[in-house]
């Protein structure tokens, strides 16, 4: 029997504008709010039309017969005008909608058997990947909440975003490398460099534990539920970036930075230069590079919007 939400939850209620003699409490101003929810579930990547070897080659350990599980985290983004109480929505109703339509149905469940779109015995069924699951969650919440974005974390180093654009999703992976650098322009004196870069211009350099987020975008495959081959994406980043940058002195060990100051901004741009074409060859587009130099400093690059000279 389908779940029936309370009448108050079936749509966003509008509240009468407050009287001119009363405080407005922000009435009518646009705002985006988010709500976080969690659930634990298992899944398996296996297609009956493929042989055991083909499934293993395509899905790796995710094809093992007993499946595997994750502690999922979903971030629900909603947009609307403030009501006379200073709220976009009543958060109790938001919480109940997410619970009724999503978490109560998925928590401690086997995703392949939860929702009909994940029935792979149906030729139109698809695997419950992170990308496919975030779209399925959107489709269940959009009737009740004014969604603008959904983010679903499968784990801290892997997540998917959906903005409601048909089958287009964003898949992000996170990795890291440790490297040293020195910020100095060779045509300037040491004194001049220190005036620009401060302590970062010291001749022996300094190091960081960099966090690298790589986000790709594309349409998910209607059968595999994947926007791209995750193993290939991870291998590209590992082989091209991590192997070259990890435990290096960037100014000396990466030829590009012999003539280009390795600021976080320039490192992020160079990573985008290096990854854009190889990533396109696996059928998706590089959407964003985020490089976190420290908890206080990060640089982001959106290749589709900038001239990366590639």
Residues 16/155, Cβ–Cβ less than 8 Å: no
Total domain count, the chain: 2
Residues 48/121, Cβ–Cβ less than 8 Å: yes
Do 130 and 217 have their domain in common? no
- In the block, residue with structure tokens 């695997």: 127
Do 95 and 74 have their domain in common? yes
Instruction: Return d(Cα 25, Cα 20) in angstroms, integer.
Output: 12
37 falls within a domain = yes
Neighbours of 63 (CB within 10 A): 19
Out of 73, 200, 265, 300, the active site residue is: 200
Do 77 and 141 have their domain in common? yes
Mean pLDDT by 10 residues, the chain (310 residues): 41 48 82 98 96 94 94 98 94 96 98 96 95 98 97 97 95 98 96 96 96 98 96 97 98 96 97 97 97 96 66
Q: Which tokens is 175 given? A: 């990795």
Amino acid 158: pLDDT? 98
Amino acid 9: pLDDT? 46
- In the block, residue with structure tokens 């975003």: 161
Out of 117, 131, 292, 293, the active site residue is: 293
Looking at 105, 138, 165, which one is the last position of a domain?
165
6 falls within a domain = no
Amino acid 22: pLDDT? 62
Least Cα distance to 93 among 205, 83, 292 occurs for 83
**Is 0.85 surpassed by the pTM of this model?**
yes
Q: Is 257 exposed, middle or buried (0-12, 13-18, 19+ CB in 10 A)?
A: buried
Q: Is 246 exposed, middle or buried (0-12, 13-18, 19+ CB in 10 A)?
A: middle
32 falls within a domain = yes
Do 157 and 178 have their domain in common? no
Do 109 and 193 have their domain in common? no
156 falls within a domain = yes
Let me know if 70 is a catalytic residue.
Answer: no
Let me know if 168 is a catalytic residue.
Answer: no
Do 94 and 175 have their domain in common? no
Question: The domain spanning residue 266 has which CATH number?
Answer: 3.30.479.10
Amino acid 283: pLDDT? 96
Helix pair angle (230-237, 264-280), 10° resolution: 140
Out of 25, 68, 247, 277, the active site residue is: 247
Q: How long a stretch of residues is the chain?
A: 310
């Amino acid at each position: 029997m389908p779940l029936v939400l309370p009448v108050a939850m079936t749509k966003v209620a509008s509240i009468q504008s407050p009287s001119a003699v009363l405080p407005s409490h922000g009435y009518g101003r646009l705002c985006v709010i988010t709500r976080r929810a969690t659930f634990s579930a298992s899944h398996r990547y296996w297609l009956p039309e493929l042989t055991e070897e083909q499934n293993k080659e395509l899905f790796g350990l995710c094809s093992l017969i007993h499946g595997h599980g994750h502690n999922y985290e979903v971030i629900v983004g909603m947009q609307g005008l403030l009501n006379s109480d200073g709220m976009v929505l009543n958060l109790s109703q938001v919480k109940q909608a997410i619970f009724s339509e999503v978490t109560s149905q998925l928590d401690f469940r086997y995703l392949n058997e939860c929702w009909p779109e994940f029935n792979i015995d149906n030729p139109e069924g698809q695997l419950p990947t992170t990308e496919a699951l975030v779209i399925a969650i959107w489709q269940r919440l959009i009737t009740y909440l004014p969604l603008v974005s959904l983010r679903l974390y499968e784990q801290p180093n892997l997540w998917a975003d959906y903005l409601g654009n048909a089958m287009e999703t964003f898949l992000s992976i996170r990795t890291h490398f440790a490297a040293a650098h020195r910020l100095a322009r060779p045509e300037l004196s040491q004194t001049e460099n220190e005036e620009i870069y401060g302590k970062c211009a010291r001749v022996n350099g300094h190091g960081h534990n960099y966090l690298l987020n790589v986000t790709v975008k594309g349409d998910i495959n209607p059968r595999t539920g994947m926007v791209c081959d995750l193993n290939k994406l991870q291998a590209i980043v590992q082989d091209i970036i991590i192997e070259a940058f990890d435990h290096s002195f960037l100014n000396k060990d990466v030829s590009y930075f012999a003539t280009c100051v390795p600021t976080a901004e320039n490192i992020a741009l160079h990573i985008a230069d290096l990854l854009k074409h190889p990533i396109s060859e696996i059928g998706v587009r590089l959407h964003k590079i985020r490089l976190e130099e420290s908890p206080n400093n990060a640089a982001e690059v959106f290749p589709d919007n900038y001239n990366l000279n590639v």
